[in-house]
A and B are shown apart, each in its own frame.
Chain A
């Protein structure tokens, strides 16, 4: 084997630390095990007293080489790994992969399976937003909403457990459909949950979203203008909070989303500046309500009969070099899979572009001039999930 040519390194992390140190400021390592970082991320914080000059994100602690693993697995065999890309919204990560391979194969998924997928994904979106909203409140000092959010998430976990047997890493979707049909009584249970949850959302908004202390803490904090959000490629609720009307489910419709009536909430700067941390929080709360709307329509419209799997060859082999690109709206926004087919039964290259990864890139710029305590709120409001950054 020919030795690899190694490009020269302009700068290493040690070099960055050294430069900060000689500037005379204080250098703090926030993380990698800091509770507010939602996983294993390190922030190199350069501060002058309590005001930050800069916070440099250091990621990679959870790098599992999922893209490389994708080159070694069969297309079906990679599905459980996609759960681990984003363990809080595993269903959406499943769907992105399934859609990319279905696009390569040219399969149409049966209608009932698409509805099962939508139900699963929207339930998962609610549970993800509940974790995000609950932990964000907890990070900035309000501990009470967190168990409230987790209690509701437990119902969803139970529902999803009935659906696919797992509570976190579902592996529910298959290429060409879903693994199981809805269990008996599932629709009634889901209906009961929605009746209960819609009331809880009102309560949750009263408890925390429109809480005066909460608003004072988050309004005007780290606003992201729309142009900047696009430039840094923010996606999902973070982008919409900045006032950009874009939702993959609405603008590039996939699956059965064109059949539903729902809104993509956009930040309006109701209590502060457009695109501030409160707007991002509010967007997620509002999205949960919209997901409930979608779920209700799912229950009303789901075809009573029909298979849950399309005809898929047992061994998936694709013409070498063909490529596909899939975009779905995960809870953290536009999630994209870029797949190039290999000669055998596995892919030649898998690239996963996730919302958290690009969201991390903006923290360095936004943190300049913030207080250290506000960095915690900023990270929480961007809703980054560490495994999704590193993959």
Chain B
């Protein structure tokens, strides 16, 4: 079945809850309300003509401008060899949606990942805890306004810049030359055996 046929079939069952198919030219998707997601998913799986037996991918996208977090479901049917995409828009302040773990077991880990990295609460998930980050990590890395905490259990999360204090070679030569001329001026022609000057001269020699 094509995207349009699947969309029509879903719209026939759920009516206005299924949003229009957009965009028309590329991979199109339909937006559905969060409240009905489990019923829609259950129907997608159980309807013998749709037969979406696999939840292929579950991802989420953060849209701070729209104040939304979007959950994207990619379905695939091994029986019918067709696919479909649904999106759900959630409130960014407290994103929560019902878990589809009861429909497809694959949703277990996929939802845990989005909970961990995007901070989406999946209601009814049997084991909702962080999967990639430590349990006591603060914040959700994939959010657009995420700021990493400076340290975690006294382990710093930043690294010293190894280029700090690095001087370009031409600048270094200039500095050495300046230092040499300054010492030459200060001490005059007599007593030129200051250790600083020796070191500077030696460096200059090496560089040239």
Of residues 309 to 342 in A, which have CB atoms within 8 Å of B's CB atoms? Answer: 322-325, 334, 336, 338, 340
Give A325 to B57 CA distance when docked, in angstroms. 10
Q: Which of B59, B96, B109, B135 contacts A358 (CB 8 A)?
A: B109
List of B residues within 8 angstroms of A324 by Cβ: 26-27
The stretch from A7-15, A136-144, A212-220 touching chain B is A7-15
Known: A349-B61, A361-B105. A338 touches B53 (CB 8 A): no
| Complex contacts, B191 vs chain A, CB 8 Å | none
Which residues of chain A come closer than 8 Å to B106, judged between CB atoms?
Answer: 231-233, 358, 361
| Contact of A357 with B by CB under 8 A | yes
Beta-carbon contact of B128 and A10 below 8 Å: yes
CA distance A16 to B129 in the complex (A): 10
Partner of A1, one of B23, B140, B145: B145
Please give the distance in Å from A342's CB to the nearest CB on chain B: 11
CB neighbours (8 Å) of B141 from chain A are 65, 68
Known: A1-B145, A340-B61. A390 touches B132 (CB 8 A): yes
Is A251's beta carbon under 8 Å from chain B?
Answer: yes
Q: Are A323 and B26 in contact (CB under 8 A)?
A: yes
Complex Cα gap A1–B147 (Å): 10
Please name the residue on chain A nearest to B108 by beta carbon. A361
Q: Looking at chain B's contact residues, is the secondary structure mostly helix, strand, loop, or mixed?
A: loop
Per the 8 Å Cβ criterion, residues 14-71 of A in contact with B are 14-16, 59-60, 63, 65, 67-68
Whether a CB of chain B sits under 8 angstroms from the CB of A300 is no
Q: Does A260 contact B (CB under 8 A)?
A: no
Chain B residues numbered 54-73 whose CB sits less than 8 Å from any CB in chain A = 54-57, 59, 61-62, 72
Which residue of chain B lies nearest to A348 when distances are taken between CB atoms in the complex? B61
In the complex, what's the smallest C-beta–C-beta distance from B50 to chain A, in angstroms?
15
- Contacts A4-B143, A246-B78 hold; do A336 and B119 have CB atoms under 8 A apart? no
Q: Within 8 Å CB of A322, what residues of B?
A: 23, 26
CA distance A119 to B85 in the complex (A): 32
Pairwise interchain contact B105-A232, C-beta atoms closer than 8 A: yes
CB–CB A68/B140 < 8 A: no
What is the minimal beta-carbon distance from A230 to any residue of chain B, in angstroms?
5
The 8 Å CB contact of A233, one of B55, B120, B131, B145, is B55
Task: Name which residue of chain B comes closest to A340, CB basis.
Answer: B61
Give Cα distance in the complex from A351 to B71, angstroms. 12
Whether the pair A4, B140 counts as a contact (CB closer than 8 A) is yes
- Give how many B residues have a beta carbon under 8 Å from the other chain's beta carbons: 50
Assess whether B93 is interfacial by the CB under 8 Å rule: yes
Roughly how many angstroms separate A9 CA and B54 CA in the complex, as a whole number?
Answer: 28
Q: How far in angstroms is the closest Cβ of chain A from B85?
A: 8
Is B94 interfacial (CB-CB < 8 Å)? yes
- The proximity string for A residues 349-391 relative to B, scoring 1 for CB distances below 8 Å and 0 otherwise, is 1010100011011100100000000000000000000000010
- Tell me how far the C-beta of A253 lies from the nearest C-beta in chain B, rounded to whole angstroms: 12
Mask: chain B, 107-141; 1 = CB below 8 Å from A; 0 = not: 01110010101011100000111111111101111
A274 an interface residue at 8 Å Cβ cutoff? no
Name A200-234 residues within 8 Å CB distance of B.
227-228, 230-233
Is there contact, CB below 8 Å, between B131 and A60? Answer: yes
Establish whether residues A59 and B27, one from each chain, have CB atoms under 8 Å apart when the complex forms: no
Given A338-B57, A349-B61, A353-B57, are A5 and B93 neighbors across the interface (CB < 8 Å)? Answer: yes
Supposing A230-B54, A338-B74 touch, asked if A9 and B129 sit within 8 A by C-beta, the answer is yes
Query: A11–B57 contact, CB under 8 A?
Result: no
B3 interface residue (CB < 8 Å to A):
no
A4 partner residues in chain B, CB cutoff 8 A: 119, 139-140, 143, 145-146
Given contacts A230-B78, A231-B105, A322-B26, contact A9 B59 (CB under 8 A): no
Please indicate the chain B residues that have their CB under 8 angstroms from the CB of A325 in the complex: 27, 74, 85
A10 and B133: CB pair below 8 A? no
Which B residues touch A362, using CB under 8 A? 105
Given known contacts A1-B147, A323-B26, A361-B106, is B129 in contact with A63 (CB within 8 Å)?
A: no
Do the beta carbons of A68 and B142 come within 8 Å of each other?
yes
Check B54 against A233 for contact (C-beta < 8 Å). Answer: yes
Residues on B with C-beta less than 8 A from A60 are: 130-134
B53 touches A230 (CB 8 A): yes
Do A12 and B74 touch (CB < 8 A)?
A: no
**Nearest residue, chain A, Cβ from B144:** A71
User: Given the known A-B contacts A1-B147, A232-B105, A336-B57, are A7 and B121 also in contact in the complex, defined by CB atoms under 8 Å?
Assistant: yes
Contact B56 A353 (CB under 8 A): yes
Do residues B59 and A349 form an inter-chain contact, with CB atoms below 8 A? Answer: yes
| Residue B168 is within 8 A (CB to CB) of chain A in the complex | no
Q: Which of A6, A231, A246, A251 contacts B119, CB < 8 Å?
A: A6
* Across-interface contacts of B117 in A (CB, < 8 A): 67
- Bound-state Cα–Cα, A67 to B62, Å: 13
What are 9 pairs between A and B in contact, CB < 8 Å?
A10-B129, A59-B131, A227-B53, A233-B54, A322-B26, A323-B26, A325-B74, A353-B57, A358-B106
Interface residues of B, Cβ cutoff 8 Å to A: 23, 26-27, 53-57, 59, 61-62, 72, 74, 78, 81, 85, 93-94, 96, 104-106, 108-110, 113, 115, 117, 119-121, 127-136, 138-143, 145-147
- 8 smallest A-B Cβ distances: which pairs? A233-B106, A361-B109, A351-B59, A60-B132, A12-B135, A63-B132, A7-B121, A353-B57
Given contact pairs A11-B127, A231-B54, A365-B105, a sample of 11 additional A-B residue pairs in the complex whose CB atoms are under 8 Å apart = A7-B94, A7-B115, A15-B129, A230-B53, A232-B106, A334-B56, A340-B61, A349-B62, A351-B59, A358-B106, A361-B109
